[in-house]
Amino acid sequence: MTSGTLSPGRLPASARLLLFRQDQLLLNGGELFWPAPAAGPLLGEDTHLLPVAKDCFAADLTGEDEKESRSLRSLLFSESDSELELLSRASQLVHWRRTHRFCGLCGESTRPGENDRVLECIACGHQFFPRINPCVIVLVTRGEEILLARSARYRSGFYSCLAGFIEIGETPEQTLSREVREEVGVEVGNIRYVQSQSWPFPSQLMLGFLADYRSGEIVPEPGEIEDARWFPVSDLPAVPSSTISVAGKLIEGYVRSRKEHL
């Protein structure tokens, strides 16, 4: 996939576009995708088109208008997996472009590279590649019980898995042990990777694990964890959807495996 050097004037007629303004997706009469002819008038000559997939481009528009718009989060439940994948990729590319307009070394402007998906400083040539922030998310289990917590910062109302960003120099397994210890004061072992998920808020890669409880009593970290407790798999609180979140998939998968076990 090449970079976004394509100008609006050279847009293929078959192209479809996802148009963003700030963190909102502009709708085309209720539709997510804009055919090239309809999108054309909204694009400036200097608008960068970011290739998302074959014949699919994203653009970040400036200025104001009255067009109907939606947040990406509000679309999570209403779109198909393949459309969500495009939306997620487009949103992350637009975020990367928007947050790397200037060089962090010399302060000059950046522009898309010729051959790779990269932004290059026009003065010193430093290259900025798209950034992904890796996180671990873990379901801690103790036989028929699972450890779920409610965040003090994001009041979703759900109890969910513990999660945290991987710090520089850490392996995912080290992050996992550290986060569980910091957030609930518990030690874990037998860490197993299960599955991952790209999460575009703004650009996380969530690595989902299971881990067995080893020792310690739950002590929620003040300011981070509002409440954390062991729940029997037969009596769970409201948890995130397994349709859209790796947390929901970890919980659902473990609960199913225990029920099969009985």
Chain residues that interact with Zn ion, rule: CB under 5 A: 103, 105-106, 108, 121, 123-124, 126
Closest approach of Cβ 116 to Zn ion, in Å? 17
Is beta strand 133-142 parallel, antiparallel or unpaired with respect to 204-215?
parallel
Strands (E) located in 42-159: 50-53, 56-61, 69-71, 110-112, 119-121, 127-128, 133-142, 145-151
Least gap, CB of 110 to Zn ion (angstroms): 8
H or E stretch including 90? helix 81-99
- How near is the Cβ of 48 to Zn ion at its closest, in Å? 18
> Which CB sits closer to Zn ion, 1 or 105?
105
Least distance between Zn ion and beta carbon 112 (Å):
15
Q: How far apart are CA 59 and CA 7, in angstroms?
A: 11
Distance CA 83, CA 181 (A): 38
Closest CB to Zn ion among residues 12, 107: 107
**CA 128/CA 259 separation, integer angstroms:** 48
Q: Which residues contact 95 (CB under 8 A, 6 or more apart)?
A: 200, 202, 203
Q: Which is nearer to Zn ion, 90 or 103 (CB)?
A: 103
Give the nearest distance from C-beta 128 to Zn ion in angstroms.
10
Residue 63 and residue 47 in contact, taking contact as beta carbons nearer than 8 Å: no
Question: Tokens 């513990």 correspond to what residue?
Answer: 162
Residue 98 or 126: the one with the smaller Cβ distance to Zn ion is 126
C-beta of 77 vs 129, nearer to Zn ion: 129
Gap between the Cα atoms of 135 and 148, Å rounded? 17
CB of 95 to Zn ion, least distance (A): 21
d(CA 77, CA 61): 25
Residue 1 has which token pair?
């996939």
Q: Which of 119, 121 has the CB closer to Zn ion?
A: 121
Q: Which is nearer to Zn ion, 123 or 238 (CB)?
A: 123
Shortest separation between residue 104's beta carbon and Zn ion, angstroms: 8
Q: Looking up tokens 């997620």, which residue turns up?
A: 88
